[in-house]
């Protein structure tokens, strides 16, 4: 993950389905604030929706940090999803198109990676999962 400076930071607690819409609205609000265009906003919000769904479904809920960041040249939105769920045994496998333990499409993680500019996943079995993404304003 690229080094960034944080300009503004918000924490969101996600424990139930009803927490998702306000979270998504806040991501959009922060993207609009930095002047991100509609196409990149849509990519960011789609990625955020997938990751928040995983956080709820597999992680049992958790927190999301929404940050406005800069790398010195460009501004962007960083989202960090953290849960203390069961973790992921094989991250390489989880990142493959079509892999799901939840009888779903298995496109959430690999699709998310393709929609953003930076993608980092850390997970330890029994300890939880942290996924960090960045979408640059013009990325």
Ligand X SMILES: Nc1ncnc2c1ncn2[C@@H]1O[C@H](COP(=O)(O)OP(=O)(O)OP(=O)(O)O)[C@@H](O)[C@H]1O
Question: Is residue 25 close enough to count as binding ligand X by CB under 6 A?
Answer: no
**Stretch of 10-18, 28-36, 66-74, 92-100 contacting ligand X, by CB under 6 A:** 92-100
Q: Which is nearer to ligand X, 83 or 118 (CB)?
A: 83
Distance, CA of 128 to CA of 118 (rounded, Å): 20
Question: Is residue 139 close enough to count as binding ligand X by CB under 6 A?
Answer: no
CA atoms within 13 A on the CB side of 88: 23
Output the smallest distance, CB 50 to Mg ion, in A: 5
82 binds, among Mg ion, ligand X, none (CB under 5 to 8 A by kind): none
Distance, CA of 103 to CA of 92 (rounded, Å): 18
User: Is the separation of the CB atoms in 79 and 28 below 8 Å?
Assistant: no
Return the residue nearest ligand X (CB atom): 108
Question: Is residue 50 close enough to count as binding ligand X by CB under 6 A?
Answer: yes
Interface with ligand X by CB under 6 A: which residues? 50, 54-55, 58-59, 83, 85-88, 94, 99-102, 104-109, 129
């Amino acid at each position: 993950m690229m080094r960034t400076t944080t300009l503004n930071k918000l924490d969101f607690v996600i424990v139930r389905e009803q927490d998702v819409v306000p979270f998504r609205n806040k991501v959009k609000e922060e993207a609009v604030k930095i002047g991100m265009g509609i196409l990149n906003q849509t990519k960011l919000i789609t990625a955020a929706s997938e990751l928040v769904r995983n956080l709820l479904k597999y992680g049992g809920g958790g927190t999301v940090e929404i940050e406005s960041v800069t790398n010195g040249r460009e501004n962007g939105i960083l989202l960090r999803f953290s849960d203390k769920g069961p973790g992921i045994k094989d991250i390489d496998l989880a990142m493959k198109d079509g892999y799901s333990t939840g009888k779903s499409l298995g496109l959430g993680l690999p699709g998310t990676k393709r929609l953003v500019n930076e993608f980092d996943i850390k997970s330890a079995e029994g300890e939880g999962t942290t996924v960090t993404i960045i979408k640059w304003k013009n990325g």
